[in-house]
Amino acid sequence: MSEISISNSSAPKPTVTVLAGDNDGPPGVERLYDHVDARIVCDEAGLAESLPDSQIVLVTDFRSDALARTWPQAKNVDWVHAASAGVDQLMFDALRTSDVAITNAQGIFDHAIAEYVLGAILFFAKDTRHNVVYQQQKRWVHRDTETIADKRVVVAGAGSIGHEIGALCRAAGMAVDGVASRAREGDDVFGRIHAAAHIDDVLTEADYVVIAAPLTDATRHWFDAARFNAMPPHARLINIGRGPIVVTDDLVDALQNNQIAGAALDVFENEPLPADHPLWSMDNVLLSPHMAGDFVGWREALIDQFLANLDRWQTGQPLFNPVNKKAGYAA
């Protein structure tokens, strides 16, 4: 999707409402002005005012639920694009049951997130935390560390992000299984892809468990005490999916009681994570502020992707990354 060829149609520019986190919009948003009448809004009032005249909504603030509350004003909207992989905030009934197309940013963040996951695995295996601590203390403390070759990774969520995670882990010599809504044959990345209904059986053999699933009704609070009980005591959890997929209190209990060995968490039920939360002070936990996929240039890449899809919309071609509104993720 690197080539961008916007139609030079003499038709009036479509009106695009950009739901952003601030009045400036994301970097690169000014590139839209040559192609569309772009209106940047960052609150519910602005959205309600802009929607009636808009044909397209570009959602760059994936945390906002303002669109659900103002959707009755969207009389002429034909397409909603989420500049994120997750579309859970767009899965409100009025939009799901409408004829409006939804697309997402599938593909933009896949490799960066996979690199984050592999880095987290190596962080644990090579005891990087204590290397940093001992360096700060100027202490020479020799230890033996783990290798990751032949260790088993279970990727819960076998979509494009999960597949890229599996590919990097497999290239590093790890064995990789996937978990999806339905079982299917393995491929050049996943040895097997198991049905979500049988995930506990798969977790018992995991060294690392990576959550890469979208947030849906089926995955909300999917990882609870039962999932952690199924994991071996030496296993580590890595969550780069969505925070509410994990029951945080159950995870804290599992970590404190040595039911699992550690966790790397980029997403949380409540963001930002409260300063007094016990996860901050656990020495077997790696935390990051929802940035696993945010590489240098990602915002500009999102604009490139939207412009490429805009050309398809203007010329009547099928859109990239259509979301299956019933399933709640990209088809």
Active site residues: 242, 271, 290
DSSP codes of every residue in 270-312 = SSSPPTT-GGGG-TTEEE-SS-TT--TTHHHHHHHHHHHHHHH
Element (H, E) at 103: strand 101-103
Burial class (CB in 10 A: 0-12, 13-18, 19+), 72: exposed
Element (H, E) at 263: strand 262-265
Nearest to 151 by CA among 193, 207, 202, 194: 207
Could you tell me which residues come within 8 angstroms of residue 99 by beta carbon, excluding any fewer than 6 positions away? none
Residues 183 and 171: beta-carbon distance below 8 Å: no
For the chain, report the end-to-end CA distance as a whole number of angstroms: 17
275, two tokens: 């300063």
b (16+ CB within 10 A) / e for 300-326: ebbbbbbbbbbbebbeeeebbbebebe
Rounded CA-CA distance 176/166 in Å is: 6
Q: What gap in Å lies between CA 213 and CA 201, rounded to an integer?
A: 18
Write the single-letter amino acid at 198. Answer: H
